[in-house]
Amino acid sequence: MVLAAFFFATMAVGIKFASSDYTMELVFYRVVSVVFMGVVVRSARL
């Protein structure tokens, strides 16, 4: 659990640094990941 929190915080720092240069690219990848998670949740029927 602590390791997952560390990786999540590291990802947030990376997004903060990258957001000044790659705004639309980050939005695109976030939308793709949300759609993918939705498909996984619907297929698992959670």
Reported as a single tens digit per residue, the pLDDT across 1-46 is: 899 899 999 988 888 887 777 778 888 888 999 999 999 999 988 6
What tokens appear for 30 in the block?
């976030």
Q: Which residue has the tokens 């997952």?
A: 4
For residue 40, give Cα distances in angstroms to 1, 6, 12, 17, 20. 22, 24, 23, 29, 31
* pLDDT at residue 42 in the model: 92
3-state secondary structure of 39: helix
pTM of the model: 0.55
